[in-house]
Chain A
Amino acid sequence: MRNIKKILILGSGALKIGEAGEFDYSGSQAIKALREEGIRTVLVNPNIATIQTSKFLADTVYFLPINKFFVEKIIEKEKPNGILLSFGGQTALNCGLELNRSGVLKKYNVEVLGTQISGIKLTEDRHKFAEHLRKINIPVPPSCTATTIKQTLQSAEKIGYPIMVRSSFALGGQGSGIAKDEEELKKIAQTAFSFVKQILVEKYLYHYKEIEYEIVRDKDDNCIAVCNMENMDPLGIHTGESIVIAPSQTLNNFEYHALRDAAIKIVRSLNIIGECNVQYALNPYPQTPKSSDGGQTQPNGEIEYYVIEVNARLSRSSALASKATGYPLAYVAAKLALGKNLTEIKNKVTQITSACFEPALDYVVVKIPRWDINKFKKADEKIGSSMKSVGEVMGIGRRFEESYQKAIRMLDLEIEGATSEFIYNKNKTLKDYLKIPTPKRMFAISQALREKITVEEIYKLTGIDPWFLNRIKYIVDEESSIPKDIKKITKEKLLLLKKIGVSDKRIGELAKTTGLEIRKLRKKLKIIPSVFQIDTLAGEFPAKTNYLYLTYNGQHNDVKPQKKSGVIVLGSGPYRIGSSVEFDWTCVNTAINLRRYNKKSIIVNCNPETVSTDYDISDRLYFEELTFERIADIYDFENPYGVIISVGGQTPNNRAFSLKSYGANILGTDPSNIEIAEDRSKFSKLLDDIDVIQPPWDKFTTEQGALNFVEKVGFPVLIRPSFVLSGTLMRVCYTKEELLNFIKEATLISKEYPITISKFIVYAKEIEFDAVALKGEIKASVISDHVENAGVHSGDATIVLPPQRIYLETQRKIEQIAQKLASALSISGPFNIQYLAKNNEVQVIEINLRASRTLPFISKVTGVDFAALCVDAFFGKNNPALDLKINDFVAVKVAQFSFARLTGADPLLHVEMSSTGEVACFGEDLEEAFLKGELAVGGKIPEKGIFISLGGDENKIRFLDNAKDLAKLNLPIFATEKTAEFLKRNKIKAKVLYKIHEHKPPTLLDYLQKGKIDLAINLVDSHIKKDIDDDYAIRRAAVDNNVPLFTNFRKAELFIRAITRKKISELLIKSWDDYVGNN
């Protein structure tokens, strides 16, 4: 091995659609692999919620943007010998290519470890790559590259419609799409060209199978295929959007190995050192391919395939493959990057065999994406060749039906399985739902089967292989014969239903009883799941693995219970809007801290993107559902000391009461007090009792009651259901009409919960209070404030620590109220309170008796591990109360939005959360920290032109000083007609751009598309309805053209202050330790 002492690792930044938690997993494993070799690691990743940016992993962490400017400065300061580019997704790869192109790596003598730049560059240029593959006799789909719209259309003419558009250098296929005709193609190409210079126009391979291979290669040319996967959805649906099964199910030996062999050939030709993903289109009914376009005829002419994508780095699929097989791909890839031979690395799972092998599975995994498209106003729910999903889950079982139904429940959408009755939009037919892929298609399939539509017909409509459809049909058929009386259910029938993954609750529903009754019957009949290990070798060698799953297709357990030495920690489930990597951080740190109490950690989680599901984080990992049924099964088997439900976000928190009723020992705050906090009526009564003010509110089951209340308190009002997760269905209403409409929609969706209406207070500050208490006594707390006024969801808000605009008096009131609540609810463990402050008056919005989203942020900014404090509280350790003061810097948490991905979604921030991730950066003052943060989420300092659109007089007057500041930047200012008039009246020069619907040149759209604008500010008055659609068009156009957009006055104001007062060159390059110190 070379003499490398210090390595720079680039992370992937904030979680976004197409680039999410999988890179926390890969970076964390890489860091571990390097540390074992005694190498110092320097990590650049502004994503403060990640596990990789923890003290126990990277030696030095920079919470700074991952781009050439900042990374060059870090290289200059840190002088690393080597750099790893393959562990931080496309973000890291793009940054690495830029560092290389600009000569930075050469200048500072930084060696690229693992796959070399030349290989990476080849895979990133579609045209050159296609040429390359043709040269080595690997078929690629007939295609042409295009750099203009005209060229695109000409190429399409040549190839023939339908056409698939793919854009190079894009995350998760952004700017890709399928066009049936010229019109559609024009639209897709337009969007694509605003992100990239070159696109690929290729033949759309209709209803081909999509197959992937994960290949590992070392410097000595040893190659292994760690995993292959088959997409249940046919080609045309991005693999990140597909239901994926591993290993492949419908490939025979010849196909499996022909594709494996081709993948190895490709990997060799690119001189990959590390990991590489190869994606294929495989014709289910092969024809003799044309040889003219690179297609080759196989010896027996019985396979027709094309390579559609190669990722010369760790990817979403490799994270999945890693969890599917138990093979630590990222860890191994990092070792190989250092120059190790595959045979020198041990199989981490068995501890006795070599890492140079191909895992044999004796189970099957099914991955299903988690979408939250319906959380976005106006977003199109159709899924296709670019990613829209925000997370994923993986079900493990020994039958397809078992894994598939587990995965569906893991989505945490309160859907019991594959056959859940499906509510569809009345103006769409069932066949529409089958034909047009959406998140609902899974359920349309079982509905269609119930309606006796044949497998063959469903195949024609969906392109989903009959193999899968027949498995789903099996579930439908078996369910249809469940007796409607629990007494008539035989042992054989019940066992079979459990083997095919039907939940107790679902059986209960169909047998006209409850899930708990079925559970009782099941236990009486001794139908209980087996605990199986994932050992990478299908039982061939005895394995020391702690990686477990439950199955009914077994009759023995591979492990013995931990009993009272074990503590179950419930993870967060799939990443989604409102619950993501921050909860994994808390979960992981809680598990680690259990060691201090001599307890074995037993993590339950089902999300393959997480670090908590890594092989060496917990003493025992159940890759399992977070449903009551499954947790209770694990609890029954392990018989542990207790279970922790308050560190994995809302999902485990929701299980508190059912687990408590089941007799589980819940560590931390008593679930009956959690219920008080979650039930608005009970909580409100508590607030009244302890004399704490809250905005006036009430609960209503009738419209009239609601109207009477609103008349009393006046508009605007905030409406929401009683059980809230990231603001689902929350809405601020300004008029009676709006209110009535909303009530109609909301009650239709969630009838078991009444509607809650509270007075919405405008221009109020929103404040976060995070703390850990022991038996009602606060042991440590942190106050942070939002830049935006109340009305922007706290997950979307810009959060500042230490708080910048809170009076001492307000702070005192906040702390007093918190202590009162902690005592009243006898809190032991983490909790979070959201406050409103206006005119020196403090009101409580809500309390959560669990770790909040901000916990990793406050832990890393204060240098105090709040997860450790939580564990102390769970075990009753009486720590002295901490006084946490931050004096010499400011940290700002900035949300990452992925609106560009979500076709049609309105980017306007509101009470419902819409961000997909976050970063946090440090600075000497608010402006510096915020500017770094904004740059880290894709913001830019404007250099070309600024567009301003101010709705209503109030916004215009409020914004005037900011406009004057912007004018000092000497950049062209563009504005809508009225705004331009207003600016001119105030001596600010502005060129009028007409709105999109005005159809009058020059239009905003034109200027956006031509790249003449690189900052857009669109402030609207929520009350004013008349212009709303037009403003939506403005916002959407900005997002679609990748132009930074500000829609919130206070955030825009802060940004303008930052860019007018700070120069990028003045931003300090300081590590986390430089700010927080090494403790």
Chain B
Amino acid sequence: MTGKLILKDGSIFNGNSFGFEESAAGEVVFSTGMVGYPESFTDPSYQGQILILTYPLIGNYGVSDKKYWESNGLKISGLIVSNYIDTPSHFQSKGSLSDWLKSEKIPALEISDTRLLTEKIRNKGTMLGKIILKNNIAFYDPAKDNLLEKVSIKKVETLGIGNKTILMLDCGAKANIQRCILKRNVKLIIVPYNFDPFKNKINFDGILISNGPGDPKTAIQTIKIIKKSIERKIPTFGICLGNQILALATGGDTQKLKFGHRSQNQPCILEGTKRCFITTQNHGFEVNKIPPGFKPWFTNVNDKSNEGIMHKKLPFMSVQFHPEAAAGPVDTEWIFDEFIKRL
């Protein structure tokens, strides 16, 4: 079956369908990472988005067991690749990507010239789009939706044991954040994005604001909770969306990037040093005003955008990239240690 990708600017791309054969709409973004498609597709930050992968061969190693995913299922709204490979080869593969997409009802198209799509988005910015397979449907703007509600857990969950406890506000957390924390022998309490721990009298040593989809300014409830924790001088650590939320909660500001950073090769310099780290990123917004009392922690070497902030005196810190990687380089996992040290 063939289908169409229609972009808001009116351009149309034809392709072969290899996923679920129903139309879908969302925001169209591209990622340049070369490995880790199961990790990316299950990353809740992609909620509401149609993902274009610039690496042309996708499906090579099939789909692994759920325990390796970043969430309980596919989070992308649709998928565009140049060349879908239907003959996976890997000892961990439990099935093909196509079967997975079909079973989770996610449409996918093979459009040869993903480079043209990428250049279009790079030049015109992220735009809305829809994959049309059977019936035409309307465009859908995920920014108008409460995405956090869709990806956050519904009730409190406690994991692991340890002398210290981290409370994670789940705005759509990738599973590897959890793995990174548990492997450091820290107890983890995962709560919904709008769960106020101060009302609920939970004991913990620090707060982690996870990654997640959408515009940070819509995360009003989470920002409110963080404002409280900041007042109480509780060690706070934000990742990606969490970085933006921390900034907004402390008087900083955020703005939408033209086409975002979605890749596994972003160089970030640790401020005040000559050390540069290669990071995984997946975000469409950036912190453009550092909150008072904070200093830049990391800066992107390519476009000089802020990649992390740290309070000058208090244990508040956050990064725009993903120290938990998955997919991508694991060079900044030490950041978890930095936070845990301060609990």
A538 touches B278 (CB 8 A): no
Residues of A with C-beta under 8 A to B116: 554-556
Q: B153 near A: Cβ within 8 Å?
A: no
Smallest CB gap from A500: residue in B: B83
* Given the contacts A250-B89, A556-B113, A362 and B274 also touching, CB distance less than 8 Å: no
B322–chain A nearest beta-carbon distance, Å: 12
A358 touches B92 (CB 8 A): no
Residues of A with C-beta under 8 A to B38: 252-253
Smallest CB gap from A362: residue in B: B54
Q: B312 near A: Cβ within 8 Å?
A: no
* Given the contacts A260-B329, A354-B301, A539-B118, A361 and B34 also touching, CB distance less than 8 Å: yes
Q: B335 near A: Cβ within 8 Å?
A: no
Q: A597 near B: Cβ within 8 Å?
A: no
Q: How far is the CA of A466 from the CA of B93 in the complex (A)?
A: 13
Contact with B along A361-386 (1 / 0, CB 8 A): 11110000000000000000000000
Q: How far is the CA of A151 from the CA of B55 in the complex (A)?
A: 49
In the complex, which of the residues A253, A363, A470 contacts B35, with contact meaning CB atoms closer than 8 Å? Answer: A253
Residues of B with C-beta under 8 A to A354: 267, 276, 301-302
B265 touches A358 (CB 8 A): yes
* Given the contacts A342-B276, A360-B55, A400-B57, A253 and B36 also touching, CB distance less than 8 Å: yes
In the complex, which of the residues B68, B83, B275 contacts A399, with contact meaning CB atoms closer than 8 Å? Answer: B83
* Given the contacts A253-B39, A357-B302, A538-B118, A470 and B61 also touching, CB distance less than 8 Å: no
* Given the contacts A251-B61, A532-B115, A554-B116, A538 and B92 also touching, CB distance less than 8 Å: no
Q: B6 near A: Cβ within 8 Å?
A: no
* Given the contacts A343-B301, A360-B32, A553 and B264 also touching, CB distance less than 8 Å: no
B60 touches A360 (CB 8 A): no
Residue picked from A250, A341, A352, A358, most chain B C-beta under 10 Å = A358
* Given the contacts A284-B91, A357-B267, A554-B112, A539 and B330 also touching, CB distance less than 8 Å: no
Residues of A with C-beta under 8 A to B122: 539-542
B39 touches A538 (CB 8 A): no
**How many interface residues does chain B have, given as a range?**
35 or more
Some 12 contacts from A to B, beta carbons below 8 A apart, are A247-B34, A250-B89, A250-B90, A260-B329, A352-B302, A357-B278, A359-B265, A362-B54, A364-B57, A398-B56, A466-B87, A539-B30
Residues of A with C-beta under 8 A to B60: 249-250, 467
Contact with A along B22-51 (1 / 0, CB 8 A): 000000001011111011000000000000
B35 touches A553 (CB 8 A): no
Residues of B with C-beta under 8 A to A225: 278, 329
Q: B288 near A: Cβ within 8 Å?
A: no
The 6 nearest A-B residue pairs measured at CB: A253-B36, A470-B87, A467-B89, A538-B54, A539-B118, A360-B32
Within 8 A of B (CB), among A450-506: 465-467, 470-471, 474, 499
Q: How far is the CA of A554 from the CA of B117 in the complex (A)?
A: 10
Residue picked from A222, A261, A466, most chain B C-beta under 10 Å = A222
Binding site for A on B (CB under 8 A): 30, 32-36, 38-39, 54-57, 60-61, 64, 68, 82-83, 85, 87-92, 112-116, 118-119, 122, 183, 263-267, 269, 273-276, 278, 301-302, 325-331
Contact with B along A317-349 (1 / 0, CB 8 A): 000000000000000000000000111000000
B35 touches A251 (CB 8 A): yes
B184–chain A nearest beta-carbon distance, Å: 12
Q: How far is the CA of A795 from the CA of B271 in the complex (A)?
A: 58
Q: A272 near B: Cβ within 8 Å?
A: no
Interface of B is mostly: loop
B64 touches A252 (CB 8 A): yes
In the complex, which of the residues B83, B91, B183, B265 contacts A553, with contact meaning CB atoms closer than 8 Å? Answer: B83
Q: A221 near B: Cβ within 8 Å?
A: yes
A356 touches B267 (CB 8 A): yes
Q: A56 near B: Cβ within 8 Å?
A: no
A15–chain B nearest beta-carbon distance, Å: 33
Q: A235 near B: Cβ within 8 Å?
A: no
B179–chain A nearest beta-carbon distance, Å: 9
Q: A733 near B: Cβ within 8 Å?
A: no
In the complex, which of the residues B36, B274, B275 contacts A252, with contact meaning CB atoms closer than 8 Å? Answer: B36
Q: How far is the CA of A364 from the CA of B56 in the complex (A)?
A: 8
B86–chain A nearest beta-carbon distance, Å: 9
In the complex, which of the residues B54, B85, B274, B278 contacts A220, with contact meaning CB atoms closer than 8 Å? Answer: B274
B113 touches A356 (CB 8 A): no
Contact with B along A249-276 (1 / 0, CB 8 A): 1111110110011001000000000000
A299 touches B183 (CB 8 A): yes
Q: How far is the CA of A363 from the CA of B115 in the complex (A)?
A: 10
A439–chain B nearest beta-carbon distance, Å: 25
A360 touches B54 (CB 8 A): yes
**How many interface residues does chain A have, given as a range?**
35 or more
Residues of B with C-beta under 8 A to A361: 34, 55
A299–chain B nearest beta-carbon distance, Å: 7
A362 touches B114 (CB 8 A): yes
Residues of B with C-beta under 8 A to A471: 87
Residues of A with C-beta under 8 A to B326: 253
A470 touches B329 (CB 8 A): no
A99–chain B nearest beta-carbon distance, Å: 31
Q: A286 near B: Cβ within 8 Å?
A: yes
A357 touches B265 (CB 8 A): yes
In the complex, which of the residues B32, B278, B329 contacts A540, with contact meaning CB atoms closer than 8 Å? Answer: B32
Residues of B with C-beta under 8 A to A341: 274, 276
B330–chain A nearest beta-carbon distance, Å: 5
Residues of B with C-beta under 8 A to A465: 89
Smallest CB gap from B87: residue in A: A470
Residues of A with C-beta under 8 A to B32: 360, 362, 537-540
Q: A123 near B: Cβ within 8 Å?
A: no
Q: A302 near B: Cβ within 8 Å?
A: yes
Residues of B with C-beta under 8 A to A552: 112
Within 8 A of B (CB), among A547-594: 552-556, 558
Smallest CB gap from A354: residue in B: B301
Residues of B with C-beta under 8 A to A399: 56-57, 82-83
Known: A222-B274, A251-B35. 11 other contacts (CB 8 A): A220-B275, A247-B35, A250-B61, A253-B327, A257-B328, A358-B278, A360-B263, A362-B115, A400-B57, A530-B113, A555-B112
B208–chain A nearest beta-carbon distance, Å: 21
A398 touches B330 (CB 8 A): no
Residues of A with C-beta under 8 A to B82: 362, 398-399, 553
Q: A224 near B: Cβ within 8 Å?
A: yes
Q: How far is the CA of A538 from the CA of B113 in the complex (A)?
A: 12
Q: How far is the CA of A357 from the CA of B302 in the complex (A)?
A: 9
A474–chain B nearest beta-carbon distance, Å: 8
B274 touches A540 (CB 8 A): no
Q: How far is the CA of A489 from the CA of B273 in the complex (A)?
A: 62
Residues of A with C-beta under 8 A to B54: 360, 362, 538-540
B246–chain A nearest beta-carbon distance, Å: 26
Q: How far is the CA of A466 from the CA of B89 in the complex (A)?
A: 6
Residues of B with C-beta under 8 A to A364: 56-57
Residues of B with C-beta under 8 A to A342: 276
Q: How far is the CA of A361 from the CA of B55 in the complex (A)?
A: 6
Residues of A with C-beta under 8 A to B330: 257, 261
In the complex, which of the residues A221, A247, A250, A474 contacts B275, with contact meaning CB atoms closer than 8 Å? Answer: A221
Residues of B with C-beta under 8 A to A357: 265-267, 278, 301-302
A232–chain B nearest beta-carbon distance, Å: 12
A1072–chain B nearest beta-carbon distance, Å: 40
A538 touches B329 (CB 8 A): no
B259–chain A nearest beta-carbon distance, Å: 8
Residue picked from B33, B39, B276, most chain A C-beta under 10 Å = B276
Residues of B with C-beta under 8 A to A499: 112
B65–chain A nearest beta-carbon distance, Å: 10
Q: How far is the CA of A235 from the CA of B183 in the complex (A)?
A: 34
Contact with B along A526-540 (1 / 0, CB 8 A): 000010100001111
A554 touches B115 (CB 8 A): yes
